[in-house]
């Protein structure tokens, strides 16, 4: 169970009770993104950014308050700690009616399994009350729009694979690599060709067999002990974002 804290809770010290240990792969965003919606004259700015710690999340929140100085509400939600080995979530309604803002924003992150990220939805009040349902849909929609703009990726541990092969097999092997999620890191030309390929660690042994098959046994492949996390677009692994469909006509 992931620890979920309301914005008014005290900051946890040490390892928060109930936090989850990180798993081998995770979904996150690589760069900040922004989306803006208007609902009954209220303007909602959704801003998302990668963060690895609560300190980074607090700092991003403060930067948003500076960016949109004078706004009525700065609703936020984040999930952090994946790289540190534990996951903690925090959210705040920021003065909106309880349960109408922070939790819907957090839900956008959690149902898409996004971690090490923060979403801040800033509202400039337009003078017309939206009602509890309208607020919930507006904050959820702004958060979802920001997430969609950020184009999340799945981070997978990759292992470096060295492949030595004759030039006559280079074009075919390059073609086969393009059909996978493998990432060609470097090509070294000599009397033969050496390819340095990043393959998902879970597929490393299978990769050796595939290369042997694709090159009719003419390649010499070697797995190294070099491992690092690399991003893969969700679409490449058959994943789609779970985003609610909402429109202004749905408002109370």
Listed residues 87, 118, 151: the one ending a domain: 151
Listed residues 129, 151, 173: the one ending a domain: 151
Q: What's residue 173's pLDDT?
A: 96
Read off the tokens for 123.
Answer: 């509202």
Alpha carbons within 13 A on the beta-carbon side of 102: 23
pTM for this structure? 0.75
Q: What's residue 243's pLDDT?
A: 80
The reply to whether 124 and 161 lie within a common domain is no
The reply to whether 20 and 142 lie within a common domain is yes
The reply to whether 202 and 142 lie within a common domain is no
- Classify residue 247: in a domain, yes or no: no
- Please report, to the nearest 10 degrees, the dihedral formed by the alpha carbons of residues 200, 202, 204, 206 taken in order: -120
Query: Pairing between strand 42-50 and 33-39?
Result: antiparallel
- Classify residue 41: in a domain, yes or no: yes
Residue 35's DSSP bridge partners are 46
Alpha carbons within 13 A on the beta-carbon side of 125: 12
The reply to whether 146 and 163 lie within a common domain is no
* CATH label of the domain that carries residue 91: 3.30.230.30
- Classify residue 101: in a domain, yes or no: yes
- Classify residue 25: in a domain, yes or no: yes
- Please report, to the nearest 10 degrees, the dihedral formed by the alpha carbons of residues 186, 191, 192, 195 taken in order: -10
Helix (H) or strand (E) holding 90: strand 86-92
Per-residue pLDDT of the chain (252 residues; tens, 9 = 90+): 345 566 544 333 333 333 444 447 889 999 999 999 988 888 899 999 999 889 999 999 999 999 999 898 999 999 998 766 778 899 999 888 898 889 999 999 999 999 999 999 998 987 777 788 888 898 999 999 999 999 899 988 999 999 999 999 999 999 999 999 999 999 999 999 999 999 999 999 999 999 999 999 999 999 998 888 888 888 887 788 888 655 444 433
First to last CA, the chain: 34
Q: What's residue 3's pLDDT?
A: 52
The reply to whether 147 and 160 lie within a common domain is no
The reply to whether 47 and 145 lie within a common domain is yes
The reply to whether 145 and 160 lie within a common domain is no
The reply to whether 35 and 104 lie within a common domain is yes
The reply to whether 45 and 170 lie within a common domain is no
Q: What's residue 86's pLDDT?
A: 78
- Classify residue 29: in a domain, yes or no: yes
Structural domain including 65 reads: 3-151
- Classify residue 250: in a domain, yes or no: no
The reply to whether 173 and 144 lie within a common domain is no
Domain count of the fold of the chain: 2
- Classify residue 245: in a domain, yes or no: no
Listed residues 128, 151, 174: the one ending a domain: 151
The reply to whether 126 and 20 lie within a common domain is yes
The reply to whether 191 and 112 lie within a common domain is no
Helix (H) or strand (E) holding 206: helix 204-214
- Classify residue 241: in a domain, yes or no: no
Q: What's residue 4's pLDDT?
A: 56
* CATH label of the domain that carries residue 199: 3.30.70.240
Q: What's residue 20's pLDDT?
A: 43
Q: Name the nearest CA neighbour of 113 among 234, 12, 246.
A: 234
């Amino acid at each position: 169970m992931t620890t979920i804290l309301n914005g008014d809770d005290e900051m946890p010290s040490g390892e928060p009770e109930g936090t989850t240990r990180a798993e081998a792969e995770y979904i996150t965003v690589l760069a900040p993104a922004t989306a803006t919606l208007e609902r009954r004259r209220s303007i909602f700015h959704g801003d998302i950014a990668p963060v690895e710690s609560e300190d980074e999340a607090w700092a991003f929140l403060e930067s948003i308050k500076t960016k949109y100085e004078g706004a009525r509400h700065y609703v936020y939600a984040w999930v952090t700690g994946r790289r540190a080995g534990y996951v903690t979530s925090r959210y705040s309604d920021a003065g909106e009616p309880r349960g109408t803002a922070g939790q819907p924003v957090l839900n956008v992150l959690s149902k898409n399994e996004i971690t090490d990220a923060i979403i801040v939805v800033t509202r400039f009040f337009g003078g017309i009350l939206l009602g509890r349902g309208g607020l919930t849909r507006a904050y959820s929609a702004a958060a979802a729009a920001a997430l969609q703009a950020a184009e999340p990726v799945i981070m997978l541990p990759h292992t470096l694979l060295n492949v030595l092969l004759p030039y006559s097999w280079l074009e075919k092997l390059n073609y086969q690599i393009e059909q996978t999620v493998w990432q060609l890191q470097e090509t070294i030309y000599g009397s033969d060709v050496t390819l340095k390929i990043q393959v998902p660690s879970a597929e490393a042994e299978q990769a050796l067999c595939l290369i042997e098959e694709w090159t009719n046994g003419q390649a010499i492949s070697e797995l190294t002990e070099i491992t690092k996390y690399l991003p893969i677009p969700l679409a490449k692994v058959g994943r789609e974002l779970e985003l609610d469909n909402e429109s202004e006509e749905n408002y109370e």
